[in-house]
């Protein structure tokens, strides 16, 4: 294949010209947030976009790297900040690199033993997601959280394990500040 060149724009934050745009609205995220009633209110009030990704069409085969841009908008569902669905990679031996470009947030990481880590995301840091760690980004700021990411193209995405067992922490607003709260359960 030929080399690919992408262009980042800032207002609005986008990756172009040939990236595939995937949009996740509140109605796509039922079951994700703890306050289901507040989510339905948002759906009825216009179903806002929670996040979108832009990814060039790079083959999902071995040897390739896929990269893209995530734009996670500011907002809350009840007290819970807007966040991505979160996933393990299907091939657990694959890692990922996150490079925040704009905004503030956290990356919640959890391995299959249930160990949890929370890393700050803001311009000036790079976060390495090691093999075997599920990852979910959370926008704790008041502007879009924009980050660039790159991962092995054959990684695959496993959303089911996270949907079934969940993350052990949630990130909630408390007096206007983010608070990492353990999830009750076995
Ligand atoms: C892909 C990478 C990100 C997320 C994106 C949306 O491996 O981690 O591009 O896909 O931030 O999150 P999610 O959990 O809905 O795929
Ligand atoms: Zn990933």
Q: What confidence tens digit (pLDDT) does each residue in 101-154 have? A: 999 999 999 999 999 999 999 999 999 999 999 999 999 999 999 999 999 999
Three-state helix/strand/coil letters over 115-146: CEEEEEECCCCCEEECCCEEEEEEECCCCCEE
pLDDT at residue 52, as a whole number? 98
- As a whole number of angstroms, the distance between CA 181 and CA 169 comes to 5
Q: Where are the domains of the chain?
A: 8-182
Rg over alpha carbons for the chain, rounded to the nearest Å, is 16
- As a whole number of angstroms, the distance between CA 128 and CA 145 comes to 17
Q: Rounded mean pLDDT of 142-169?
A: 97
Judge if the upstream peptide bond of residue 12 is cis by omega within 30 degrees of 0. yes
| Ligand 1 pocket member 68 (CB < 6 A) | yes
| Ligand 1 pocket member 95 (CB < 6 A) | no
Q: What is the CATH number of domain 8-182?
A: 2.60.120.10
Which pTM value belongs to this model?
0.97
- As a whole number of angstroms, the distance between CA 140 and CA 121 comes to 10
How many Å lie between the centroid of ligand 1 and the Cα of residue 135? Answer: 8
Q: Which ligand is nearest to the CA of 55?
A: 1
What backbone torsions phi and psi does residue 5 show, to the nearest 5 degrees?
A: -125, 125
Quick check: 185 pLDDT over 80? no
Please, which residues have CB within 8 angstroms of residue 46's CB and are 6 or more apart in sequence?
none
- As a whole number of angstroms, the distance between CA 143 and CA 135 comes to 21
**Band of the pLDDT at 184, cuts 50, 70, 90?**
confident
Q: Find out whether 88 and 77 touch, Cβ atoms under 8 Å.
A: no
- As a whole number of angstroms, the distance between CA 179 and CA 163 comes to 22
| Ligand 1 pocket member 178 (CB < 6 A) | no
| Ligand 1 pocket member 100 (CB < 6 A) | no
Tell the residue nearest (CA) to atom 5 of ligand 1: 70
With residue 162 as reference, give the H or E element that holds it.
helix 160-165
């Amino acid at each position: 294949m030929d080399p690919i060149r992408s262009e980042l724009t800032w207002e609005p934050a986008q990756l172009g010209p040939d990236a595939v745009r995937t949009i996740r609205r509140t109605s796509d995220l039922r079951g994700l947030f703890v306050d289901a009633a507040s989510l339905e209110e948002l759906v009825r009030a216009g179903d806002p976009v929670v996040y979108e990704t832009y990814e060039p069409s790079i083959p999902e085969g071995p040897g390739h790297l896929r990269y893209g841009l995530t734009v996670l908008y500011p907002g809350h569902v009840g007290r819970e900040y807007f966040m991505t669905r979160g996933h393990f990679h299907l091939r657990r031996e694959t890692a990922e690199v996150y490079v925040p470009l704009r905004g503030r947030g956290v990356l919640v990481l959890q391995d299959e033993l249930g160990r949890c880590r929370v890393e700050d995301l803001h311009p000036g840091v790079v976060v390495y997601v090691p093999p075997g760690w599920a990852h979910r980004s959370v926008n704790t700021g008041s502007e879009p959280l924009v980050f660039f990411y790159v991962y092995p193209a054959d990684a695959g995405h496993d959303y089911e394990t996270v949907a079934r067992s969940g993350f052990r922490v949630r990130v909630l607003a408390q007096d206007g500040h983010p608070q990492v709260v353990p999830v009750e359960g076995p």
